[in-house]
Every structure is written in structure tokens, then in C-alpha cells.
Chain A
Amino acid sequence: MTRLRWVPRLAAPAWLLVAVSGGAFLAALLVALGLFALYGLDPLSAGATVVERTLMDKRGFGEVIRKSIPLLLAGAGMALALRARFWNIGAEGQILAGAIAATAVALFVPLGWYTIPALYLAGFVAAGLYGLVPAYLKARLGVNEIITTLMFNYVAIYVVRWLINGPWRGRSLTGFSYTDRFDRATYLPLWEGTRVHIPTLVIGVAAALLITWLLRHTRLGFSIRVMGDGPDAARYAGIKLLPTTLALAALAAGVAGVAGAGEVAGIHHRLIEPTSVSMGYGYTAILVALLARRKAWATLITAPLLGWVFAAGDVIKVSLQLPFQITDVIIGVTLLLLVAAEPLLSYRPVWQRRGGSEDAPTTPETQTRPEVGS
């Protein structure tokens, strides 16, 4: 007579973490195949079309990389913020803040050798400042950062709409709400035949690696990790909450802003409707970071996964004539499964003989437990 018992564990093994992230993602893809069937398509041939158009030809593959770039930048920043349990849901608005600042530089600053670095820098600084406000309110007054960062998303959306309909509205266009097209000197170099803006990609990879290094080897990184262990831990370790929160929030928001600068200077070459500048990259960045278990280096793997989902969304819309929103469902389901698998990570199943308890300690091994988002 044996029975199953769930015993708390100190840390989940690495293979299990990978299995949970991978399993959640794959299961969500199965749901997508099911949706294809609901819309009357043969799931396998529809799936084959998606794979063909996203992975087998250069243009399609380029789209996967192109959509991975903002996800990588915002996702690596998100990993940093979530590490400290700072719930920055505002990456979407921060991407837009970066796009606005880069547009300002492209349209109004005299061109020169410095133009492209200045675009990125402006994006970084503007978004960083935008991210500082909720961080200050949180660290100083305890104002819930989830709500403030979310509100700031909407503020950014409407400010972009105001700019493109009002003061920055293009003179050369009639009937459309865009700014004028940027000068060619601001265009980011592309990987030939695709829309992959190479400098932003390089910055993205560098950002993921730098944030990993920062978390592991610097004083700030140490403070951030301790903050992530909870307020008590931070207090005992003598962590200064305000400067640490400000630094991590500005950094996380700043890299998201770089993504926004890359989108306008690399792809659109003008400021356009906010939901076209960022098609939910900021929200998806949360999933990128959580799938990566809040490890910045792992966003190098998870960002392309979700970039592929976004690229697949275009194929779904154009080639299969199905709604793009299928991607939102995939993202939502992946997140749901990821949370659902949490108990697996903090408890391990043990087969126990009735009456005997030699292989199952009844006391928890520790009080802390791994958690998707803690």
C-alpha cells in the first residue's frame, strides 16, 4: 500500500524548470492548433504553412528575429525588475516613451554622425525617466506599482495619438495620422532582404548579457536579488530600498525605451499609431521574463520563441485568413499553464508506504519556495 505525498522542496531541479517552461509553451501551441481546427482548417497543414513561412524562408525568418528584438530588450529589463519583485507592467508605455523621444531626435535635431546613437540614447533616457515615477512612488510611498505602471501605458498611448494627430502631424500626408517620414540618415542598417535592424539586435543581446552580469557580479545586482527575497531579507541585509528600486526601474524601463527607438528608426521611419509601434510587446515581455524564470540570459531563448509567435500571427492573418488575436490566446494560455505548474516546482511527489515515513520528511526543507513571479 503506497500513496502519493507532496513534499516541499528547496529548489526545483533545472531540468524541471526547462520542462515546465517548454511544456507550457508547447501545450499552448496545441491549443492554437485546436483553434485552427475550430475555424475549419486542417490543423496540421495550417501549422505546416506557419512553420514554412516563418522558419523556412529568409524573409519570414527575418520577421521572427525582427519581432524578437523588442521582446528581448523589454524582456531582459522585465527579468531585472521581476527579480526584485518590482511588478513593472508598464513596458508597453515605456516602449512608446522611447519611440516618442527617438522621433523627437529624428525630426527636430540637426543630423550628424551622432544621430543614430542619439536616437537610442534619447529612447533610453526618456523611458528611464518615465519608469522612475512609479518606482519613486512605490519605494517612497508604497503606491502599488502594478496600477501606476499600467496607467502610464494608457497615458503613453494617448500622448502618442495626440502627437501624431496634433503638433507632430505630418505635413506631407493627408488623411493619415503619422508624423513626417524621418530623414534617411536616421534609418538603421538592416539585414539585407529583411526588416531586422542589426544595431538594435546587437544592443538587445548585449543588454541581456549585461543585466545577467549586473545581477551576478555587482553590488546593485546583489541588492536587487536580496530585494527579491522579500522585504524582511532586504531590511536585514541593510539594502537601501529607494536607490535600488530607482536604479532597477530606470534600467528596466530604459532598455524597453531602446526597443521603442529601434521600432521607429528601424522599421516605421515615422511615429505612427501606438498599437502599431508596439503590438503588445510590453505585456508579452512579462511572459518572456517569466518563461525565462527571471533570468536575463534566458530571455535570449524565450524572446525568439515569442517573436516567432508574433511572426506566426502575421502568417495566420495573411496566409490563413484567421484573426491575429490567436496569438493573444497563445500568450495567455502559456502564462496560465506556467502558473498552474507552480506547485510542481515547490513540491515534489513522493510515493510513501502507509505508516512508514522514512523517505518523506514531514518538515519543510525551507520556508522559501520558488515561485513563478516572486
Chain B
Amino acid sequence: MEFELLTTTIARALAFGTPLLLAALGEIVAERSGVVNLGMEGMMMLGAVAGFIAAQATGALLLGLAAAVVAGMLAAALHACLSVTLASNQYVSGLAITIGGVGLANLIGRDWVGRRLAEPMGFVTVPVLSDIPIIGPALFVDQYPLTYAALIIAPLIWLFMFRTRPGLTVRTVGESPAAADTAGISVRRVRFMAVVFGGALAGLAGSYFSLAYRPSWGENITNGLGWIALGLAILALWHPMRAIPAALLFGAFFTLSFRLQGVLPPELLTVLPYLVTVLALTLIALRGGRGAVGAPEALGTPYRRGER
């Protein structure tokens, strides 16, 4: 029984960390190919609103999820067109997608503000696994299917990235696009696909709020979590498996900020995850010394043949 507090805290942290994990995984894939995606927040918002409206209109959750994924992919494709195909500035392109995407999502969702989803995503308990002491109740009891999906997607991405040839290709493109190009790899195509895949996960992350966690639509429903996901990608050192504990840690900070209400003012507690992001990035940098730690070599630089 003394483990109950621990297990419920982990369970809550996991519930809150799910969208962070999904979005961070999406960012990791895009960044591994060399493209920074500052459009995460916008893609999550678009996914959230598209998912909500589709699910509300059709009554089918799966259609909601599909709509969220498609919305995220479309926004990501726009980012890829600008930053990969046209080789324009990745930062500006991503920011444009976030500013425009958040605005557009709020615009589209205006008539749905405050409405609850008629048939929201329910909890699922995994048989057998949930009977394991401590780990079972912490991870496998009463979580949303999207949470389990995120926990499965992470190792799949790891397998892809580090155990398959196409995964190696993605990493090569992120480390040394010129070398990849010389080897006959289409840098643009690989990056385009990586960014769009990241957008799909961002859309899914957004739908977690509107279809499962809330489950309703509200203005600025993702509340800057897309930006925290960007920090998580760095914190995880661009490694999909390390994104799991990182997301759990941040989920824990969010739950903690709910738990401690009454002890400290809620507004100050809400600051915690944002401050911890800065602190975590600082610690990582301190440990690694000067410069970025293990960042893909070509991160943030558009590739044009014949240019340094």
C-alpha cells in the first residue's frame, strides 16, 4: 500500500506526459534528419481542432484521430516545402506555422469552445501487464489508448533509427547531407518524409487533449506544450527511448503542480515545468561542456548542393 502514492504519481505523470512524448518523438525524427521544427505547437493545435471537429461530427473516434494526423501532416508538409524543398530558413518557417496554425485552429474552433466531446476516448487497462506489482498499476491501469500507442511508437522509432538501413539514411542526412547526397541519397526526399512523419505525431499529440484528456475544445488548448516538446528532444539527446523518461519527468512536474495547489499559489506552480525545461537544458549543456551535445551535425541548416 505504501507504493500507492508512487504508482498514482507515475500514472498521472504518464497521462500528462503522453502528448509531450508524442510531440517530442516527432521532433526527434525531424531533427535527426537535420530539420528543426518550430511549428510543433501550431501542428498540435491544428491536430487538436481537426480531431475534435471530425470526432464530434461523425461520432467516430478513429476518424477524429485520422483527421488529427492528416492535419498535422499537412501543416508539416507546408513546413517541409518551405524549409526543405525551397531550402528557406527553418526557424522562420516553423514560427510562421506556429503563429498561423494556432490562430487558424482558434479561428476554426471558435464555435466549439467549451463543448465536450460526445463520445470521448475511454480508459483501457492492459490485461496481464497490469497485474505486475508496482509497474502494472503505474503504467498499465486506466490509461488512454494513445498513451499505450506512444509507449509502443517510441521503441519502434528506435528500432527504425538504429537498426534499419532507412533509419541510418535518415541519420546520415542529418549528420552529413553532402555525404548522403554523394552516396546517391535524395536529401530533400528523406528530410521531407521525416518532417511530415513528425507532423503526424504532432497532430496525434494535439488530439490527445481534445479527444482524451480534456476531452473538449478550448482556446490555446495545448498551452505551449509544443515548445516544451522541443526542449524534450534536446533533453533526450535526440534519442527516442530517452524521450520516455524525459516526458515522464515533465509529466510529473505538471502533476506535482496540481498536487501542491493550496500549499503554493497555482500560478507559480504552473511556472515549474517551463523553468525546469530551462534548467534541464542548462544542466545538459554543463555536463557536455561547451556547444550542443550530440546534436545532429547539420541541424538547422538547409541543404543546397554545392554550398557549404
Contact = CB atoms under 8 A, between A and B. Distances in A.
Contacts of A372: 88-89, 92
Given A329-B100, A332-B100, A339 B277 contact: no
Contacts of B88: 339-340, 342-343, 371-372
Contact of A325 (B103, B274, B292): B103
A247 interface: no
A324 B184 CA distance: 49
A144 B38 CA distance: 12
Given A329-B103, A329-B104, A332-B96, A340 B38 contact: no
Contacts of B281: 137, 143-144, 147-148
B268 A364 contact: no
Interface string A338-350: 1110110000000
Given A146-B91, A367-B308, A331 B234 contact: no
A373 B234 contact: no
B97 A332 contact: yes
A155 B271 contact: yes
A335 B268 contact: no
Contacts of A89: 95
Contact of B102 (A148, A328, A367): A328
B92 A335 contact: yes
B91 A87 contact: yes
A336 B268 contact: no
Given A147-B227, A147-B231, A148-B281, A328 B89 contact: no
A162 B265 contact: yes
B84 to A, nearest CB: 12
Interface string B270-308: 110011011001100110001110000000000000111
A167 to B, nearest CB: 9
B271 A158 contact: yes
A87 B96 CA distance: 14
Interface-centre pick from B92, B224, B278, B306 (highest chain A CB count, 10 A): B92
B104 A152 contact: no
Nearest to B290: A142
B99 A374 contact: no
A-side interface mostly: helix
B86 A340 contact: yes
B237 interface: no
Interface in A318-374: 323, 325-329, 331-333, 335-336, 338-340, 342-343, 364, 367, 369, 371-374
B95 A144 contact: no
Contacts of A369: 307
Contacts of B282: 137, 141, 143
A140 B291 CA distance: 9
Interface residues of B, number: 49
A147 B234 contact: yes
B92 to A, nearest CB: 5
B87 interface: yes
Contacts of B38: 146
A212 interface: no
A117 interface: no
Given A141-B290, A154-B224, A336-B93, A327 B103 contact: yes
Interface-centre pick from A159, A162, A166, A290 (highest chain B CB count, 10 A): A162
Given A143-B282, A323-B110, A162 B82 contact: no
A371 B93 CA distance: 12
Contacts of B265: 162, 165-166
B292 to A, nearest CB: 6
A250 interface: no
A111 interface: no
Interface-centre pick from A150, A340, A369 (highest chain B CB count, 10 A): A150
Contacts of B124: none
A338 B86 CA distance: 12
Interface in B81-129: 82-83, 86-89, 91-93, 95-97, 99-104, 106-107, 110
Interface of A: 87, 89, 137, 140-144, 146-148, 150-155, 158-159, 161-162, 165-166, 283, 286-287, 290, 323, 325-329, 331-333, 335-336, 338-340, 342-343, 364, 367, 369, 371-374
Given A326-B107, A336-B82, A342-B88, 7 more contacts: A147-B278, A162-B265, A166-B267, A287-B99, A328-B106, A332-B103, A339-B93
30 contacts: A137-B281, A141-B286, A142-B291, A143-B285, A146-B230, A147-B231, A158-B268, A162-B265, A162-B268, A165-B267, A283-B99, A323-B110, A327-B103, A328-B99, A328-B103, A328-B104, A328-B106, A329-B107, A332-B96, A333-B100, A335-B92, A335-B96, A338-B96, A339-B89, A339-B93, A340-B82, A342-B87, A343-B86, A369-B307, A373-B89
Interface of B: 38, 42, 78, 82-83, 86-89, 91-93, 95-97, 99-104, 106-107, 110, 224, 227-228, 230-231, 234, 265, 267-268, 270-271, 274-275, 277-278, 281-282, 285-286, 290-292, 306-308
For the complex of A and B, 8 pairs with smallest distance between CB atoms: A332-B100, A328-B103, A335-B96, A162-B267, A141-B285, A342-B88, A325-B107, A151-B274
